[in-house]
A and B are shown apart, each in its own frame.
Chain A
Amino acid sequence: MRVRTVVVVFVALLLAAGSPGGPGLAQGKPTLRMLASAGGSGASFAAGVSEFERDTGIKVDFIQAPYAEVREKQLLELTSGSGTLDIVSVDDQVWLPELFHYLEPLEPYVRRDSLDLNAYVPAMLNLYRYTDPVRNQSALYALPIRVGGFVLIYRKDLLQQAGIAQPPRTMDEFLADARALTHGGQYGIAFALKQTNYLTSQFFPILRSFGADVLDHTRAHPAFNTPLGREATQFFVDLYRKYKVIPQGAITYEQDSVIAAMQQGLTAMTITYSPYVVVMNNPKASKFAGQFTVASQLPYSRDSGLKTGVTMINGWGFGVSRDSRSKDAAWQFVKYMASPKAQDLMAIKYANSPTLKEVYQNREFQAVFPEALPVLSVLDHASSRTGVVQWTRIEDIMSATLSAALVGDKSVPDALADAERQVTQILRSAR
């Protein structure tokens, strides 16, 4: 009967399709597996991965996925000890406190291969060091591959037209310039204000540039409900609610809308992740390509006692999974991606944010990314997000708090007090 034939063929195909592609055979080179965040990061990494395959003959199964997916899948795979992943993407101090249990400490490999760690920008390398709070041991768990920071990106032409000679150096100037640039359907600033972890990242540089911080130096207590913290938060909220120099729609903005707002000429300035200036200057995507540039420092608050703004430094590192069956090959890969060859390639041709000092001095790179030196100077005054295991929860609390203040559900002092209470509780129930 025809039906029977169809069924038999179908079942045969099913069995063929369903056979799990196991790990690489013992003889021959292993296949390495990893997940990476899609977008600018994934695209630049992909180029490096292909070079690695060409140079070493080791195959790499490299999957790009949205940030939340990478997190979900890595959590599942690593905590189950399945050994499916060989290389682990690490979102610096946010994921490290959770993932370090599952990562190989890299110092033994570094020593064995005589890798010079001084070649890396120190602030970037330190993002991937973590001190195990229980054993009080510090180790390096990943090498930095793509690290940038939040910088002030602005439209040269618009500032010139408004008679502003140079980008704002203080928060007062930042506000004044924004007001001067807000007229006729154009706004001074684009910020990502949607209630997501990006909102907390958007706020972090402002908070730091007012001289406050999320947690104190012991990392056991919240430190944002202080006079400076309140000033920072009020300033942030006022930009949106009182002075309206940010488009009202920004309450739904994530990174893409910020970039689009700049590209489409809706806004004149923004404080966002450094590699995005390349996207804004891309003539295929932007109406105002070529007009965007980076200020060499973030604005700061005069009350803070600081001399320059402090930004947030963050990015991706690659580590080796403790359960990997090909640790040596995985280390080779990580080392390669952090090596001058790969870093040069990814930075010059694929808009990566390099982590080796020498790339910043590379003329070819500077030609492609004229903002290289200003960005590096901003990153000199940067701090990372605090490495505590509850950071993800703290991020969500801050984001909900800021959102409440931004939409007017709570006053700034009330919102901060509420957040302080919740963060204290979270930190107290530390695992």
Chain B
Amino acid sequence: MLAPAVVVLVVVLLVPLLFSLRMSLFDWSMLSPTHRWVGLGNYRRLLADPGTLASLGITTTFTAVSIAAETVLGMALALLLNAPLRGLRAVRTFVLLPMMVAPVVAALSWRLLLDSDFGVLNYLLAQVGLPPQLWLGRGLALASLIAVEVWENTPFVVLMLLAGLQALPQALLEAARVDGAGFWQQFRSITLPLLSPVLLVTLVFRTMFTIRVFDVVWVLTGGGPADRTLTLSVDIYRTAFRYADLGSASTLSWLLLLVTVAITAVYLRVLQREALA
């Protein structure tokens, strides 16, 4: 029964994945019919390159802050939407909207909103007397990108956590309340531990998708200004399709993969310990 899944994955994902590993060991350009073997040369060169390290740093910052924000906000919103108040069920579907918008459409829409001269956000700020900001300028570019990413993806977290909350055994919570436990205590000792499995799945997938964010960055800043928002994915795209350098692009992709695996391993260890506690 596992066979179909394994076959599809092997043919469609594993083979290209291994092919890209192979490419990373060569000086492989799309423009040249022959390729020179360099072994780990690409890896050595790129890891020593300050540009790559800067990209890694930016990607890490972007991912860490986005996920932290999404998790905290997502948790808060899930708790909010779980409240026994009328009308909240209708709201839940609308809250999912940002997740349903195609990334390229969302990115372009935000570009319109954040434009410093023609965008409506600065216009609204001016109306209340605040100075207009260079949202995609030197100081705020990365923060703006994180904000857009959080806007787009918190719904996913809300969806997952809300489901988790709704499956919590009500009896336990009732018992705690009767015993006089406050909201915070309830949250720390019952809700959070029971939610750990959902949280784990959510964090793993959000990390996987955020660490390789592309559309938002490419459309809004192109990696700038001054390479300040150059995430690894944008670097990979540029290297592959502007410079036709598939060897380096594959190397960077494998670096990204290894980082993702490492982070996931950490999650698994930490959260599984929590869940068992």
Chain A residues with CB below 8 A from B32, complex form: 431
For B138, list chain A residues within 8 Å (CB): 251, 407-409
A238-280 near B? 1/0 per residue, CB < 8 Å? 0000000001110110000100110010100000000000000
Q: Are A252 and B116 in contact (CB under 8 A)?
A: yes
15 more A-B contacts (CB under 8 A) besides A194-B222, A195-B227, A249-B116?
A: A194-B225, A195-B221, A196-B222, A196-B224, A247-B117, A248-B116, A251-B136, A252-B116, A257-B118, A393-B242, A396-B238, A403-B225, A403-B226, A409-B226, A431-B32
State whether the Cβ of A152 lies closer than 8 Å to any Cβ in chain B. Answer: no
Shortest distance from the beta carbon of A374 to any chain B beta carbon, whole Å: 29
Tell me which residues across on chain B come within 8 A of A400, comparing CB atoms. Answer: 224, 226-227
Interface positions of B from 178 to 199, Cβ below 8 Å from A: none
Please report which residues of chain A, range 151-201, place their CB below 8 angstroms from some CB of chain B when the two chains form the complex. Answer: 194-196
Q: Confirm or deny: B30 has a beta carbon within 8 angstroms of a beta carbon on chain A.
A: yes
B37 CB–A CB distance under 8 Å: no
Contacts of A399 on B, CB cut-off 8 Å?
224
The 9 closest A-B pairs by CB, nearest first: A195-B224, A249-B116, A407-B138, A404-B226, A403-B226, A249-B117, A252-B136, A72-B241, A403-B225
- The B217-234 residues at the A interface (CB cut-off 8 A) are 221-227
Asked if B137 is at the interface of the complex by the 8 Å CB criterion, the answer is yes
Q: Is the CB of B137 within 8 A of A252?
A: yes
A404 to B30, CA, bound (A): 30
On chain A, the residues within 8 Å of B137 by CB distance are: 248-249, 251-252, 407
Would you call B243 and A392 a contact (CB within 8 A)?
Answer: yes
User: Does B115 have its Cβ within 8 Å of any Cβ on chain A?
Assistant: yes
* Beta-carbon nearest neighbor of A400 in chain B: B227
Judge whether A341 is part of the interface by a CB distance below 8 angstroms: no
Chain A residue numbers with a CB within 8 Å of B244 are 75, 79, 98
Report the bound CA distance from A101 to B30 in whole Å. 12
The main secondary structure of chain A at its interface with chain B is helix
Q: Tell me if A68 counts as interface (CB < 8 A to partner B).
A: yes
User: Does A406 count as interface, using CB distance less than 8 angstroms?
Assistant: yes
- Would you list which residues of chain B between 113 and 153 have a CB under 8 Å from chain A? 115-118, 134, 136-138
A252/B134 in contact, CB under 8 A: yes
CB distance from A298 to the nearest CB of B (A): 26
Evaluate contact between A260 and B243: CB separation under 8 angstroms.
no
With A403-B227, A408-B138 already in contact, the answer to whether A431 and B29 are too (CB < 8 A) is yes
Note all chain B residues with C-beta closer than 8 A to A392.
242-243
Task: Write out, one digit per residue, whether chain B residues 238-256 have a CB within 8 A of any chain A CB (1) or not (0).
Answer: 1001111000000000000
Q: Which residues 66-95 in A have Cβ within 8 Å of B in the complex?
A: 68, 71-72, 75-76, 79
In the complex, per-residue mask of B43-84: 1 if CB is within 8 Å of any chain A CB, else 0 = 000000000000000000000000000000000000000000
In the complex, per-residue mask of A309-333: 1 if CB is within 8 Å of any chain B CB, else 0: 0000000000000000000000000
Residues of A within 8 A of B (CB): 68, 71-72, 75-76, 79, 98, 101, 194-196, 247-249, 251-252, 257, 260-261, 264, 266, 389, 392-393, 396, 399-400, 403-404, 406-409, 431
Q: In the assembly, what is the distance between CA of A399 and CA of B223, in Å?
A: 11
For B116, the chain A residues whose CB sits under 8 A away are 248-249, 252
Interface residues on B, range: 20 to 34
Contact assessment for A393 and B115 in the assembled complex, using a CB-CB cutoff below 8 Å: no
Instruction: Report the bound CA distance from A290 to B94 in whole Å.
Output: 46
Check if A195 sits within 8 Å of B241, measured CB to CB. Answer: no
B167 at the interface (CB under 8 A from A): no
Can you give 11 contacting A-B residue pairs, CB < 8 Å? Answer: A75-B241, A98-B244, A249-B115, A249-B117, A392-B242, A396-B242, A399-B224, A400-B226, A403-B225, A408-B138, A409-B226
Question: Whose C-beta in chain B lies nearest to the C-beta of A97?
Answer: B31
- With contacts A393-B243, A431-B32 taken as known, whether A407 is within 8 angstroms of B226 at the C-beta atoms is yes
Q: Which residue of A lies closest to B242 (CB)?
A: A392
Q: Of all chain A residues, which has the CB nearest B32?
A: A431
Task: State the Cβ distance, A427 to closest chain B Cβ, in Å.
Answer: 14
Q: Which residues of B sit under 8 angstroms from A251, Cβ to Cβ?
A: 134, 136-138, 225
Q: Which residues of A contact B30 (CB under 8 A)?
A: 75-76, 79
CA–CA, A257 and B118, complex, Å:
9
The CA-CA distance from A217 to B82 in the complex, in Å, is 70
Measured CB to CB, the closest approach of chain B to A325, in angstroms, equals 21
Q: How near does chain A come to B194, taking the closest CB pair, in angstroms?
A: 38
A88 to chain B, nearest CB (A): 14
- Check B115–A252 contact: CB distance below 8 A: yes
Smallest Cβ-Cβ distance to A199: which chain B residue: B224
User: How long is the Cα–Cα vector from A226 to B198 in the complex, in angstroms?
Assistant: 60
Q: Which residues of A contact B136 (CB under 8 A)?
A: 251-252
**Shortest beta-carbon distance, A71 to chain B, in Å?**
7
Residue of A101, A252, A261 with most partner-chain B CB within 10 A = A252
